[in-house]
Chains A and B, each alone.
Chain A
Amino acid sequence: MMRVELVRRPQHSTLFSVLSPFIALVLTVIAGALMFSLLGKNPFEALYYYFVEPLTGLWDENNRWQLHELAIKAAPLILIGVGLAVCYQSNNWNIGAEGQFILGAIFGSMLPVVFPQFQGPLVLPAMLLLGVLGGALYAWIPALLKTRFNTNEILTSLMLVYVAQLLLDWMVRGPWRNPEGNNFPETRRFHMDAVLPEILPSAGRANLGFVFALVAAVLVWVLISKTLKGFEVRVLGASPRAGRFAGFSAARMVFFAFGLSGALAGLAGISEVSGAMGQLRPVISPGYGFTAIIVAFLGRLNPLGIVAAGLVLGLTYLGGEAAQISIGVSDKVARVFQGMLLFFVLGCDTLIHYRIRISGFRRAAPAEAEPVAGRA
């Protein structure tokens, strides 16, 4: 029988840590082509609408607006993904960013919805701060439960997503429903001072949210790679024991990582509603908080890589819409693409730590050494 074996590399491969996201992208495109053929579509045409058509604005002046749409989709993905990278690097599994996004949006919307008479240039900064606060506070719940009660943060942070979605649903149907809105489940529209300005209003809708995303990515990159705190993140993530000996507090790191990622998710949430939407609705996110997990891994948990990854995943959302309109493929395909991409990314990451040896039809020699049990 043919055997496929993994042989641990003495050192992790720098070549493959750069190459693996690209290999994963190529594999995803190939798998996508297969999927479109199975659906009875011309795969080349479908892939064109998915990955090229939304980018025609790069050379075609008339389609410039599409690049703006891409920035709108990519901004929350990058903001959340950058925060998640800090979490995952420090071995804190926050998967509830979707909930923190929603709480950020709710907190920030408090000003224009409850106090519409409060206007002026201070409104927007105050909203953004409230959004950051809302996201961070919501992320601190699983952090507190993890540090105080040793509760698994994966499950609690995820459960809180459902709670947040229901809370938002109640708010916009109940106390915050627009009194002049004909009973539609939505809040009043934000007044002008509460709307996030667009970057280039003449060219497209992209708003300051994208600028926030780029700034956050650079700042977090500096934090992780140039500061002591960043070193702490990496040490505690790679080896909690070594971190303890170095005098780093694992508990404080839990609060730091969750707080930072919650804050960025909250900022993404309030930027989304005050920028692209201008009001709260029962559903404000097409799963950005979950897609950002894929973004974080595709970007190899490196903030600068995450900017690129956020643009790629933003493209799958846009491509999904484009392909639905032009060739009638369901927009659900976008989520399949996203899921496949994460699979391939994780699979390719193996190449960084292991060589794959395929041996022919011979029995393996008996084991002579202690088995290597790699940590997850």
Chain B
Amino acid sequence: MGIAESILLTIATAATPLLIAAIGELVVERAGVLNLGVEGMMVMGAVCGFAGATVTGSPWLGVLAGIAAGAAFSLLFAFLTLSIAANQVATGLSLTLLGLGLSGMIGESFVGTAGNKLSSLAIPGLSDIPLVGRLMFGQDPIFYLSILLTIGVMWFLFRTRTGLTLRSIGDNHGSAHALGIPVIFYRYLAVMFGGACAGLAGAHLSLVYTPQWVENMTAGRGWIALALVVFASWRPLRVLAGAYLFGAVTIGQLHAQALGLGIPSQLLSSLPYLATVVVLVIISRNRRLTMMNTPASLGRAFVPDR
């Protein structure tokens, strides 16, 4: 395996959790809900995924545990913001703070434990294709899932009636309600989908990317995922592109650190965060374009009067 190939492989591994979490949040935001708790749900997915895999001995059950944890955790947010109309920004923040605390407590006994890695799944035949074979068909199972998820969400949002309904809720919850669409119900499902995705992304971190549990191991990836959704102007394919761009920055700076170019490692480590800021500035500079793409009801509480 050539060095270029191995670099590309690791880029995909670094991009996958960002992609999954961002795709989940994209659906949530398309439904008009801003959940800033991605980081918290992700870290809960990471710890529960790791714990599930360690306790049962099966990384697959770990993945399921991560997904379930993310979805269950998102219900807290859903109840507060959807059922009792709490402020979405503040509630999302509290989900992140609670998730970071809770995961630290749950994971305390797992610190330093050897992980249970989810092994790669080479697709017979296809993975032997020269050049692209290993890259596209010799990856971890969650990688395939992330690609399927992206395509699935694209199809759902723009090719199905339910997807259209969901988008209409995000653009004008008042009108959707007047048409008899159960706004809150849809939003509950969307938030749970986002939670499940964030949980899966976290499980990928603790079962594939670095198979171990470290406190705060998400290291801001949930926030970067949130930024990706804005960067992608709420389009799934652009989320994919953005996630791989960030995967490339992450892996690129790691390799630069290994080479020891005399650049402080801290400066290199801060590149993904700085890149997020730069990218956000570039994309939001065009005020009209941002206004056009943002779901119009994003972040607003909805209380049906009857």
Contacts and interface: CB of A to CB of B under 8 A. Distances in A.
Interface of A: 4-6, 8, 93, 95, 145, 149-152, 154-156, 158-160, 162-163, 166-167, 169-170, 173-174, 290-291, 293-294, 297, 330, 332-340, 342-343, 346-347, 349-350, 353-354, 356, 364-376
Given A370-B174, A374-B300, 20 more contacts: A8-B305, A149-B284, A149-B285, A150-B287, A152-B230, A155-B230, A155-B280, A159-B220, A159-B277, A163-B270, A163-B273, A167-B270, A173-B266, A290-B97, A291-B97, A335-B104, A347-B84, A350-B85, A375-B301, A376-B299
Contacts, number: 180
A322 B266 CA distance: 34
A11 to B, nearest CB: 16
A157 B84 CA distance: 28
B297 to A, nearest CB: 8
B304 A367 contact: yes
Contact of B285 (A150, A330, A339): A150
A346 B285 contact: no
B281 interface: yes
Which residue of A8, A150, A340, A369 has the most chain B CB atoms within 10 A of its CB atom?
A: A150
Interface string B265-277: 0110110011011
B161 interface: no
A280 to B, nearest CB: 14
Interface in B209-227: 219-220, 223, 226-227
Interface residues of B, number: 58
Contact of B284 (A150, A174, A337, A374): A150
Given A151-B281, A371-B174, A354 B100 contact: no
Nearest to A354: B85
B266 A342 contact: no
A376 B304 contact: no
Given A373-B300, A373-B303, A6 B102 contact: no
Nearest to B100: A335
Contacts of A365: 306
Interface string B141-176: 000000000000000000000000000000001100
A371 B91 contact: no
29 contacts: A149-B281, A150-B284, A154-B89, A155-B280, A158-B220, A160-B273, A290-B97, A291-B97, A332-B105, A335-B97, A335-B101, A335-B104, A336-B102, A338-B101, A343-B80, A343-B91, A346-B80, A346-B86, A347-B84, A356-B84, A365-B306, A366-B306, A367-B177, A372-B305, A373-B303, A376-B87, A376-B88, A376-B300, A376-B301
A152 B280 contact: yes
A346 B90 contact: yes
Interface string B85-120: 111111101110111111011001000000000000
Interface of B: 36, 76, 80, 83-91, 93-95, 97-102, 104-105, 108, 173-174, 177-178, 219-220, 223, 226-227, 230, 264, 266-267, 269-270, 273-274, 276-277, 280-281, 284-285, 287, 290, 297, 299-306
A373 B298 CA distance: 12
Contacts of B177: 367, 371
B139 to A, nearest CB: 28
B20 to A, nearest CB: 19
Given A342-B94, A342-B97, A376-B299, A145 B277 contact: yes
A45 B281 CA distance: 51
A145 to B, nearest CB: 6
Contacts of B76: 343
Nearest to B264: A170
B223 A158 contact: yes
A367 B179 CA distance: 11
Q: Top 4 closest A-B pairs, CB basis?
A: A339-B98, A335-B101, A342-B94, A170-B266
Contacts of A339: 94, 97-102
Nearest to B298: A376
Contacts of B89: 93, 154, 376
B86 A350 contact: yes
A332 B101 contact: yes
B105 A333 contact: yes
B98 A340 contact: yes
A168 B305 CA distance: 51
Given A163-B270, A368-B306, A6 B84 contact: yes
Contacts of B101: 332, 334-339
Contact of A154 (B36, B87, B220, B270): B36
A145 B100 contact: no
B304 A371 contact: yes
Contacts of B88: 376
B188 to A, nearest CB: 14
A158 B220 CA distance: 9
Given A154-B89, A347-B80, A371 B300 contact: no
Nearest to A349: B86
Nearest to A364: B306
Contacts of A368: 306
A293 B36 CA distance: 14
Given A154-B36, A370-B174, A373-B301, A332 B285 contact: no
B269 to A, nearest CB: 5
A166 B230 contact: no
A364 B180 CA distance: 13
A233 B105 CA distance: 39
